[in-house]
Amino acid sequence: MFKNYIKIAWRNFKRDKSYSLINTAGLVIALSAFIVIGLFVYDELSYDDYHEDADQIYRVYKAAKDGDANAKSLATANLLAPTLEREITGLEEVTRISKRFAESLVESRTQKRYVDGLFLTDPSLFDVFNFSFIRGNPDTALNRAFTVVLTKSAARRYFGNQNPIGKSIWITSLFGKEEYEVTGVIADIPENSHYTFELLTSLETLRKTSPEPENDFGSWGHVGTYTYVKLQEGITQEEVAAQFPEFLTRHQGKRAQNMKMALQPVTDIHLYSNFRREIQPNSDIRYVYIFSSVALLILLIAGINYANLAMAKSADRAREVGIHKTLGMSKYQIIIRFLAESFVLCSISVVLAFCLSEALLPLFNNLTGKDLSLFDAPAPFYIILLLFTLVFSLSNGLYPAVAFSRHNPGRILNEEASAKKKSLLRNGLIVFQFTIAVVLIVSTLIIDRQLEYVNNKRLGLNEEQVVNVNAGDGRASDYQVFRDQLTQYPSIKNITFTGAQLPATDLMAMCLYPTGGQRGDTKMLGIGPNFLRTLEIPLLMGQSIDGLSFSRENDFFPVLINEAAMEKFGWEDDPIGQTFECFSPTPTVVGVVGDFHYESLKKEIEPLVLMGSISAPRNILIRVESESIRATLDRIEQVWDEVGPGTPFVYSFMDENYENLYKAEDKLASLFSYFTVLAIAIGCLGLFGLSAYTAERRTKEIGIRKVLGATVTQIVGLLSKDFLKLVLIGFTIAVPIAWYAMNRWLQDFAYRIEIGPGIFLLAGSVAVFIALATVSWQSIRVALVNPVESLRSE
């Protein structure tokens, strides 16, 4: 019998091709979105949970007692871990990770490349986290200085198919170039980790290379290490944290009054932790909520669309069901029959949705920077999806099934459908869909415009045609040779260097404060000669520091400040000659430069001190002629290879580096635009279904009106007017929601656009246009029917 139902369902599917296609298209789009977003959410929620006992692993952080979010800090002293281990009960293991944020040059005999960040850690890392060893002994691999553990891919990269154990690699970092022995190979780190690396060196190395190891390891003041603990079985986070206040008082004395120490579950880090200096940038639980809601909403909309379309076809089906009933079909059989139909449609949709989502995944991965794949998804994901399909098809088929199975099928649907309650529900859905559509359109427009604004805002420097060459540890002598050789070429206009790449992400702040003024950190950037000229930054007062040098005898260190510093320190009248404390020889202001954006436009331009001489040329900035850039780059590379043999030529363009600051927002913008299209597409399907339904329901009325003299335009207007009202209500609801949400988003930027009415009007017009286009198709079709036909069908 069931086979028979499926057969009939399939025939029905084929018979009403356009109806089936609209219905399937809606379901397929919605299910694909659901699958793709489901994979994304599943991945986001699974961060770090692959560690055995993940629920027992915590990271230690410090925070101000008053809860000031900016006062949270992950940086702990190296001294913390051994002290915790000694004094706090309930801890099974304690381990430390120290990360050098600057790039390090890693070389084997055959390979060399820059690695972003260098991890130094305790051997106990492998007792806290599960990193499975392929070669080497986890207990001893990192207990000596200058030892290194590689991941499998890194081992292959540096040593090919050879066994790397006992072999050497050389790492050039802040500490200079050192030889390290490979003592272990571990499996690659899963992508869903809050930190990933390709090599780990021992923290012991720091003890050997640091200029002041006693301070690094024996003082509470030297912070910069992440401390992780693993609790003993049965011990809770609260039990351990309860011991912290006393611990702090013991070691920090009075300072402990304003401070607290706390534990953060390792599985929460990726989604709930956004401190300064995270090991790697984390995501945000808000994105998980936003995307999950979008997926569910889309599915909900598609589901109700299905029911709407089923009702639109009710007249047909009622007659058919009536005949079946007269021939003896039972209520139960009718329900099964409609559920079977819904099941067939859903199954076809699921299969198609799998194909579509597989096709969409590369695009989605590209946008989210993830590496999701349908085939890698774990079993629970598929079980959830299958269950969902079943529930979805059941609930979708249930309304028509029950409605048709009732006593008088001919009347039920027509009557119920015209009932006020039902139409309120349907109209509510359309309003809901268009609210979402307008919010998404407005959001997309605002994100786009803000990004356009930050990308085009004058930065206070000329970032075009500037090549940024990564100079690694930057030996000053090499720089001079390099500069002298390059300046012979006419295509090179200017050359300088900085101590940190511009734009900077987290510029170093030093204890520089105006003499006699308020204490606090001021941002500092080391620059080379010709800095202002190369970047075309205006000098407002005084002179540049080119040609001036510091002198210990005269206690003179020439520095430049930006306008923001001049204003903040109240030096508008006489900035030249002002000095800073807490640095020797005394930094003395010789000139004021115009404000320029040295960081993202999300941040205000803060007081900045530009210091010459003290910085190694880590980033060489070369202003080039706009013609034949390719040839100029080749020339630079050639000179680079001659001057600094052995270090790879790694370059970027400064304007691109500025654009890259907003990569996350760019991705958000793209995702938003895709979801907008999706929401609108599904909204249109709903509207299309409903307008078909309305047109069918009003066929007689339209016939009468035409007989009485109504024109096609009048009929189309009549049918579209009602929908237009719904769209306008949706628009009205959407405006405050979108305004509020986007205003909050814009707060992330110190420099931002104003949200004017224009954007809302544009979004509203787009929504109205799309709605009218969708509805008109049906309205015109019905309006063109000869009234004789409409009245006969009655």
Partner 1 sequence: MIQTKNLKKIYTTEEVETTALDNVNLEIQEGEFCAIMGPSGCGKSTLLNIMGLLDNPTTGEYNFLGQEVSNHSERQRAQLRKGNIGFVFQSFNLIDELTVFENVELPLLYLGVDSAERKEKVEKALDRMSMMHRRNHFPQQLSGGQQQRVAIARAVVANAKLILADEPTGNLDSDHGDEVMKLLAELNEQGTTIVMVTHSPHDADYARRVIHLFDGHVVTENMQEGFHV
* Residues found near partner 1 in the complex (CB under 8 A): 700-701, 703-711, 714, 786-788, 791, 794
Minimum Å gap between C-beta 786 and partner 1 is 7
The sign one gets for the Cα dihedral 149, 154, 159, 163 is positive
Measured from the CB atom, the residue of 410 and 787 that comes closer to partner 1 is: 787
Taking the C-alpha atoms of residue 157 and residue 112, their distance in angstroms, rounded to an integer, is: 9
223-231 and 199-202: which strand pairing? Answer: unpaired
Minimum Å gap between C-beta 754 and partner 1 is 45
Measured from the CB atom, the residue of 235 and 710 that comes closer to partner 1 is: 710
Please check whether residue 127 is in contact with residue 161, taking contact to mean a CB–CB distance below 8 angstroms: no
Which of 372, 425, 364, 361 shows the shortest CA–CA distance to 399? 425
Query: What three-state secondary structure class fits 92?
Result: strand
Measured from the CB atom, the residue of 327 and 708 that comes closer to partner 1 is: 708
Measured from the CB atom, the residue of 374 and 785 that comes closer to partner 1 is: 785
Establish how many alpha carbons lie within 13 A of residue 331's alpha carbon, considering only the half-sphere containing its beta carbon.
6
Residue reference for tokens 């030249």: 576
Minimum Å gap between C-beta 322 and partner 1 is 20
Q: Which residues contact 610 (CB under 8 A, 6 or more apart)?
A: 524, 525, 527, 531, 545, 559, 560, 561, 562, 593
DSSP code of 716?
A: H
Query: What three-state secondary structure class fits 127?
Result: helix
Measured from the CB atom, the residue of 276 and 721 that comes closer to partner 1 is: 721
Minimum Å gap between C-beta 717 and partner 1 is 12
Measured from the CB atom, the residue of 17 and 630 that comes closer to partner 1 is: 17
The alpha carbon of residue 573 and the mean position of all alpha carbons in its chain are separated, in whole angstroms, by: 45
Q: Beta-strand (E) ranges in 436-553?
A: 466-470, 492-498, 509-510, 513-514, 522-526, 539-542
Minimum Å gap between C-beta 687 and partner 1 is 21
Minimum Å gap between C-beta 418 and partner 1 is 8
Query: What three-state secondary structure class fits 775?
Result: helix
Measured from the CB atom, the residue of 387 and 707 that comes closer to partner 1 is: 707
Please check whether residue 767 is in contact with residue 730, taking contact to mean a CB–CB distance below 8 angstroms: yes
Q: Beta-strand (E) ranges in 57-198?
A: 57-64, 76-77, 91-107, 112-121, 133-136, 147-151, 168-173, 176-186
Which of 317, 349, 309, 304 shows the shortest CA–CA distance to 12? 317
Give, in order, the Cα–Cα distances in Å from 285 to each of 45, 66, 172, 270, 758.
9, 24, 37, 8, 32
Measured from the CB atom, the residue of 746 and 791 that comes closer to partner 1 is: 791
Taking the C-alpha atoms of residue 633 and residue 624, their distance in angstroms, rounded to an integer, is: 9
Minimum Å gap between C-beta 718 and partner 1 is 11
Measured from the CB atom, the residue of 239 and 701 that comes closer to partner 1 is: 701
Minimum Å gap between C-beta 408 and partner 1 is 18
Please check whether residue 374 is in contact with residue 35, taking contact to mean a CB–CB distance below 8 angstroms: yes
Residue reference for tokens 């950190």: 521
Query: What three-state secondary structure class fits 651?
Result: strand
Establish how many alpha carbons lie within 13 A of residue 143's alpha carbon, considering only the half-sphere containing its beta carbon.
7
Minimum Å gap between C-beta 791 and partner 1 is 7
The sign one gets for the Cα dihedral 586, 592, 596, 602 is positive
Minimum Å gap between C-beta 700 and partner 1 is 7
Minimum Å gap between C-beta 358 and partner 1 is 42
Taking the C-alpha atoms of residue 366 and residue 655, their distance in angstroms, rounded to an integer, is: 22
Minimum Å gap between C-beta 794 and partner 1 is 7
Measured from the CB atom, the residue of 330 and 714 that comes closer to partner 1 is: 714
Please check whether residue 443 is in contact with residue 435, taking contact to mean a CB–CB distance below 8 angstroms: no
Minimum Å gap between C-beta 704 and partner 1 is 5
Residue reference for tokens 């995307």: 291
Measured from the CB atom, the residue of 313 and 705 that comes closer to partner 1 is: 705
Measured from the CB atom, the residue of 68 and 794 that comes closer to partner 1 is: 794
Taking the C-alpha atoms of residue 71 and residue 93, their distance in angstroms, rounded to an integer, is: 27
Can you give the length of the chain in residues? 794
Measured from the CB atom, the residue of 623 and 698 that comes closer to partner 1 is: 698
Give, in order, the Cα–Cα distances in Å from 558 to each of 551, 563, 619.
9, 17, 21
Minimum Å gap between C-beta 682 and partner 1 is 29
Minimum Å gap between C-beta 34 and partner 1 is 38
Measured from the CB atom, the residue of 425 and 784 that comes closer to partner 1 is: 784
Give, for 611, the enclosing helix (H) or strand (E).
strand 608-611
Taking the C-alpha atoms of residue 498 and residue 86, their distance in angstroms, rounded to an integer, is: 44
Burial 199-209 (b: 16+ CB within 10 A, else e): bbbbbbbbeeb
Q: Which two tokens stand for residue 20?
A: 């089936």
Measured from the CB atom, the residue of 337 and 705 that comes closer to partner 1 is: 705
Query: What three-state secondary structure class fits 53?
Result: coil
Minimum Å gap between C-beta 707 and partner 1 is 6
Measured from the CB atom, the residue of 566 and 783 that comes closer to partner 1 is: 783
Measured from the CB atom, the residue of 113 and 700 that comes closer to partner 1 is: 700
Minimum Å gap between C-beta 411 and partner 1 is 14
At how many degrees (to 10) do helices 699-707 and 663-697 cross?
60
Minimum Å gap between C-beta 713 and partner 1 is 11
Please check whether residue 30 is in contact with residue 682, taking contact to mean a CB–CB distance below 8 angstroms: yes
Measured from the CB atom, the residue of 234 and 709 that comes closer to partner 1 is: 709
DSSP code of 190?
A: P
Query: What three-state secondary structure class fits 659?
Result: helix
